[in-house]
Amino acid sequence: MATQIVIQNGDNILVDNSFLISWVDKGTNWVDGWCPNTIHCVVWNSLSGQNEIQSKDASTGMMTGNTNLNATSDAVGSTTIAALLTWAETRKGQIEAAVSAHLDAVADDEANSTNNALANWMAYDSNYS
């Protein structure tokens, strides 16, 4: 399971401070209720500073305050930090497998002078949204 996650709602998701998932690549197992439009950012990591949910007014985009996060059982939208960490590790593995399959197909094409590889890793990801 991942141990750290930073969700920038509508932008990207950083897993374990090293793996960046673009918002469009979050996949079919992401539930929209996990991060409603009243959440600007979710921070759960080991860097200095408070782990928190940064909230916003959905109609103006203006910040409305922060909610401290203290345990992986704390709620974020319709889920918990623990569930988001589990999802993040799973999604990271799915993306890595799809990227690897794409690179293998490209290498096979190069070795065999063929053109069978699909356009990008997303085409190899059955969980892509």
Q: Over the stretch 92-111, which tens digit does the pLDDT of each residue have?
A: 999 999 999 999 999 999 99
pTM of the model: 0.94
Q: Is pLDDT at 14 greater than 90 in this prediction?
A: yes
Report the distance separating Cα 23 and Cα 112, nearest Å: 35
Inside any domain, residue 129: no
Note whether residue 11 is domain-resident.
Answer: yes
Polymer length of the chain = 129
Q: Which helix (H) or strand (E) holds 63?
A: strand 63-68
**Residue partners of 82: CB distance under 8 A and separation at least 6:** 1, 72, 73
Range of the domain at 45: 5-124
Query: What average pLDDT does the structure give for the chain?
Result: 97
Give yes or no for a contact between 98 and 122, defined as CB atoms under 8 angstroms apart: yes
Q: How many domains does the chain have?
A: 1
Which pLDDT band holds residue 129 (cuts at 50, 70, 90)?
Answer: confident
